[in-house]
Structure 1
Amino acid sequence: MTSDKTSIARLVEIAWQKGITDVVFSPGSRNAPIIIAFVESEKFNCICIPDERVAAFYAMGISLKTQRPTIICCTSGSAALNYAPAICEAFYQYIPLLIITADRPIEWIDQGIGQSIRQNNIYNNYVKGAFQYIQDARGDDDIWYNDRILNEAINLSLKHNLGPVHLNIPFREPLYGTTEELPTDVKIIKAYDHRASLSGESWNELSDIWRASERKIVLLGLSHPSEALTKVLNILVKDKSIILLTENCSNVYVEEGIQCIDRVITTFENPEEFKADLVLTIGGPVISKKIKKFFQTHKAKYHWDLRSEKGLDTFQTLTHKIDAEPIYFLDKLVALNSLNNIKFQDLWLVRNEKLKALQSDFMNKVAFSDLKVFDIVMNHLPNDCILHLSNSAIVRYAQLFDQKPDVKYFSNRGVSGIDGSTSTALGYATKSDKQNILISGDMSFFYDSNAFWNHHLPENFKIVLINNSGGGIFRIIPGPSQTKQLDQYFEASHETNAESFAKMYDMKYQSAASVEELND
């Protein structure tokens, strides 16, 4: 059985044949044909989450794990607007989503009918493409058109770079009709994504610059775990003219690299010694504000960006945008490696070891605080776990501690908002067979507390909540603490306790108010 609306029955079959397996609905009436068709097919992992903002982040977490589009589907009106924060995050984090919004009939938009807004192109700035089905498609051309744009949308979501796409579907009533007739001849368009290789002339120029640069920094930002990337970077840094800078959310472990960037660059006595001739940036956004400032102040002669189709000029130094697959390009650089006597890498590594020892001494003496909690938690992480980090102070504290080689790290650093951290982690955990741990600040936790308002809470999920009764980030960054408005308007101080939330959603709860209690 399926929906009696032909294009919707075909949508389900096309989605299945294109490899989509997960669908997150939010309840409504206008999207009834889509709900009926997907659920009745019994091929998909269908779940229902009432809060659309939570649903979208939850779906994003699923896609973060699977690297395949997850469908999110809601009714018409303001429900669609609640998807926006997660769509924006997915766009900047290169996470594939297929957003399907049910809509009122086209002729009734702006005519005083409830739950009718201008939904077509509603996410235009934050999707890779926006599409709308022909309403009440019946003829062969209408069916062909709807099939074609659905294929185009799914293919686009998976094309480099990955990302969200939007399909708006207007419906006339009735909405709940069904049929036993299933589609058998749906249109499938395959797509092969091939990024251009470098021309001989381009490579000759780049290889000459690479060889001539005696001090090279490779900066890896937010990245999905990749054994191939880890392998090639471990080979690349055998050249001592190269130092690799990573953050834990880079998800690459290279022993001859710098994992805690801020620890190393905070107190440079002679920063010019550490300046690069060439900076190569790979991956997504970088958390460290200090390294951005360092590169802006101590400008490299060359900055190559391998991160995006447009080329990111974060440090105002961009000289070359390289549109090549990272592994392919790094393999070509490895072939240029030389066993030289340049000590640029050693300069960084020696400083790192010195400051690492000083940090260890300091942490042994520090009183119970946010920082001490992080020290204890990071040292007690189980092997081979997945660590999710909420934003603001939490993700910044995490950068002060060395990465564990077998732990994967995730944080919503596309837009870096505090919303959706818990929902994203929950979605990811449902597709993971490992222990998933979320370290969250109180503001992020309570802001996303509806994340638990569903029937899909996985057993492999734990939360470490650091509740300092407000937005602690505003005591760290310069400015707010000098104002009279710090407590009420910046920190948003509160006395809310998470125990009541744990009871409400039948979750186990423990609290610690000292080093001894936390260690126990």
Structure 2
Amino acid sequence: MKYSSIPSAQTVVYNCKANGINNIVISPGSRNAPLTIGFSEDPSFNCYSIVDERCAAFFALGIAQQSKKPVALLCSSGSALLNYYPAIAEAYYSDIPLVIITADRPPHKIDIGDGQTIRQENVFQNHIGYSANLKLDIRNTNPLGLGDTEGSQQVSIQRYNEEELLKALNIAFQDKMPVHINVPFEEPLYGVVGKPLMLTIGAVRKEQENPFVEDLDEFIKLWNTAKRKMILVGVHDPSHEVQELLDSVANDPSVIVFTETTSNLHHPNFFGSIDSIIAPIEKSKDKEELFQKLRPEILLTFGGLIVSKKIKAFLRKFTPEHHWHIDPKKANNTFFCLSHHFKVQPIQFFEVFNGGLVSQPSNYFSFWNSVKKGYQVKRQEYMAQIPFSDMLAFHHIFKNVPNGYQLQLANSSTIRYAQLFDLDPSLHVFCNRGTSGIDGSTSTAIGASIVHEDPTLFITGDLSFFYDSNALWNNHIRSDFRIIVLNNEGGGIFRILPGQEDTENFETFFETVHHMDASHLCQMYQMEYQMAENEKELDMALTSFFGKSDKPKLLEIKTPRVLNNKILLSYFDFIS
């Protein structure tokens, strides 16, 4: 086996290996050659080559999202690492551990006019758990060979580098945060040795679940006396344990549980389409009275960011008396009324909390459940009468997704349409809701599919898909990977948001009208391509789309650009 001749390169590789970081996503370059040699020559690492650094970072994020372990990213110096930033921000806000390893020039070569030299130290400081700026090995710090204290200086540098690495890796493992390790290298870069150096390997502290010791008596008393309690769940990984604990709470007539597509929680008593409850109230002449009737005395939240803008607007205006949030790290004051933060995992909280609960007589659940049943009937009626559109396409897609699939959703219109439908509980649903950007959704889905046992379906809009088309420049796409692109020839969500108008400026600078399709991309990247332009073609395509194949498949659904927003907005009128 070959090893880089540079001590700091060996140190980084050894520490990753010793601490179980075995997935390495490498973008090609010269300055990172010492690290690339170290990782790629060691068979204990799974090395993935992704040329585009932005795609590489989201690809790594997808792997970490599913494996729940840190994934390492490796790139060259200069502008390369700046392309990591969108995925780093997403990882930061989604609590996903990435270890970003960037090669750098020696300090004395920064700001002297050389190419691909930028100020890399602490470049991600606003969205990173820790920045470890390693020191240049002594063999390169003195290019003229002057001085006689190289040995002692190198020992000091080695000790410093090891300590910095350990700090960074501990934060990645313990706090589930991205960390940055910046490693300066001087040429020559490609030197190798047959035997490794004798290095000290630091072991990270493995994550430990602290016992929940907070006294809940007063909180349970408040809960048991309240007539209106709302539980709202944001982004949440599938969990049978949390599901079972929440099921018992949901049987209380004074409790309503609002979930989202990304909550991965299902129960007949849960309210899974939040906007279908709130939108009709907004249109009612009795909206003040109805909103007061929906207003909870206690709001209990857990999980990540909330998709529904309507529930956020409602709870910010009709604030609960108490808002409690459950999360071991952070509590976003999303509704501007946060009163208590339980710093614990939801499963630990409910194991204690449920033991003291007493059901409270109330019509809170029964009233809103009757509203839910009403809109469910009306939704079926509406689907039966609307023309071909985004909404009808989603209706057919979700009826046909096989059980057990991983479902990766792009942001913007895709995730918001998904909120309106009831998905099968066997589906595992994910979406980049940390920053909620359209960039990187395809790359994330492909990375996630690598480590997920079941097949993956990725649903996306056209702008998001074309924006991240380099994601397909990837030799790791499984043959059972499926993509559905809703192509309405522009940013359809801008026709739904306030400010929509039929002008040339709007179509050019907001909606971004185009006439592209995905057929040529599929031909270039050797994917099977299907296209549907009406309901009959869509139904026919879906009958074979999920079948076994030798190549990944893409289904492009073309819908009417100027009709989709009218059909969606009319849906809320119809169910009202």
1:169 CA drift (Å): 0.4
Q: Over residues 77-103 of structure 1, what are the superposed CA-to-partner deviations in whole Å (9 max), with x where a residue is unaligned?
A: 000101111111111111110000100
- Report the CA distance between 1:316 and its aligned residue: 1.2
- Write the mapping of 1:232-243 to structure 2, written as runs, cut at 5 A: 232-243=245-256
TM-score of the superposed pair, with normalisation by structure 2: 0.87
Residue 451 (structure 1) aligned with residue 464 (structure 2) = no
Q: Secondary structure at the match of 1:387?
A: strand
Q: 1:260 aligns with which of 273, 276, 288?
A: 273
Bigger mean CA deviation after superposition, 78-87 or 307-316: 307-316
Given that 2:97 and 2:173 are in contact with CA atoms closer than 8 Å, whether structure 1 keeps it comes out as yes
Please say if residues 66 and 431 of structure 1, whose CA atoms lie closer than 8 Å, have aligned partners that are also in contact: yes
**1:502 to 1:192, Cα distance in 2 relative to 1, 3 A:** closer
Q: Which residue matches 1:150? A: 165
Identity of aligned residues (%): 38
User: In structure 2, the residue corresponding to 1:480 is in which secondary structure?
Assistant: coil
Aligned twin of 2:499: 479
Deviations 1:462-514 (A, max 9, x none): 11111000000011111132665221110110001111111111111010111
**Residue 408 (structure 1) aligned with residue 428 (structure 2):** yes
Aligned-CA RMSD value: 1.6
Partner of 2:228: 215
Map 1:299-310 → 2, pairs under 5 A: 299-307=319-327, 309-310=329-330
Within 2, Cα distance between the matches of 1:307 and 1:286?
14
Contact 2:328-2:344 within 8 A present in 1 as well: no
Aligned residue for 1:335, secondary structure, equals: helix
Match of 1:286 in 2: 306
Residue of structure 2 equivalent to 1:171: 185
What TM-score results when the alignment is normalised by the length of structure 1?
Answer: 0.96
Matched residue, 2:135: 134
Per-residue deviation, 1:194: 4.8
Farther off after superposition, 466-475 or 7-16: 7-16
Note closer, same or farther for the CA distance 1:482–1:197 as it changes in structure 2 (3 Å cut): farther
Whether contact under 8 Å (1:196, 1:323) holds in the other structure is: no
* Aligned partner letter, 1:257: F
Counterpart position of 1:38: 39
Aligned to 1:52: 53
- Is residue 2:369 matched to residue 1:349? yes
For 1:231, give the aligned amino acid: E
Shift of residue 195 of structure 1?
Answer: 6.2
- Aligned AA (1:518): L
Instruction: Name the aligned partner's letter for residue 442 of structure 2.
Output: T
- Tell me which residue corresponds to 1:517: 537
Q: 2:512 aligns to what?
A: 492
Residue 77, structure 1, aligned to residue 78, structure 2: yes
1:124 to 2:143 alignment: no
Is the Cα–Cα contact under 8 Å of residues 24 and 59 in structure 1 kept in the other structure? yes
CA contact (8 A) 1:284 1:307 kept: no
Instruction: In structure 2, give the amino acid aligned to 1:8.
Output: A
- 3-state SS of the aligned residue for 1:416? coil
Alignment partner of 1:319 out of 327, 339, 344: 339
* Residue 97 (structure 1) aligned with residue 112 (structure 2): no
Q: Is the 8 A contact 1:195 1:323 kept in 2?
A: no
Q: Secondary structure at the match of 1:266?
A: helix
CA distance, structure 2, for counterparts of residue 406 and residue 233 of structure 1: 17
Verify the 8 A CA contact 2:226 2:360 in the aligned structure 1: no
Moved more, 403-412 or 207-216: 207-216
Aligned to 2:567: none
Q: Conserved in 2, the CA contact under 8 Å of 1:62 and 1:427? A: yes
1:206 is aligned to 2:219: yes
1:150-203 CA distance string (max 9 Å, x none): 12211201223x121000001111110111112455322331545665655x53
SS in 1 for 2:120: coil
Q: Which has the larger radius of gyration?
A: 2
State whether structure 2 residue 311 is matched by structure 1 residue 273.
no
Match of 1:4 in 2: 5
The Cα shift of 1:325 comes to 2.2
Is the contact between residue 324 and residue 340 of structure 2 (CA under 8 Å) also seen in structure 1?
Answer: yes
Q: Which letter maps to 2:204?
A: K
Offset, 1:106: 0.9
Query: One-letter code of the match for 2:252?
Result: D
**1:99 touches 1:167 (CA, 8 Å); kept in 2?**
yes
* Deviations 1:87-135 (CA, angstroms, capped at 9, x unpaired): 1111111111000010000111111111100101000111111111111
C-alpha displacement at 1:310, in angstroms?
4.2
SS in 1 for 2:166: helix
**Greater mean deviation of Cα atoms: 489-498 or 8-17:** 8-17
| Aligned partners of 1:148 and 1:187 also within 8 Å | no
Range with bigger deviation, 479-488 or 411-420: 479-488
Aligned residue pairs total 518
- Find out whether 1:298 has 2:313 as its counterpart: no
AA partner of residue 105 (structure 1): P
Once the two structures are TM-superposed, the CA of residue 144 in structure 1 deviates from its matched residue by 2.3
2 CA distance for matches of 1:199 and 1:94?
24
Secondary structure in structure 2 of the residue aligned to 1:510: strand
Could you tell me which runs of 5 or more consecutive residues in structure 1 were left unpaired when the two chains were aligned. none
Structure 2: tracts of 5 or more residues without a match: 139-150, 541-576
Instruction: Tell me how far apart the structure 2 counterparts of residues 213 and 193 of structure 1 sit (CA, whole Å).
Output: 37
CA contact (8 A) 1:2 1:40 kept: yes
Moved more, 285-294 or 262-271: 262-271
Q: Which amino acid aligns with 2:164?
A: I
1:308-457 to 2 correspondences below 5 Å: 309-457=329-477
* 8 Å Cα contact 2:61-2:96 kept in structure 1: yes
| Structure 2 contact 235–262 (Cα < 8 Å) conserved | yes
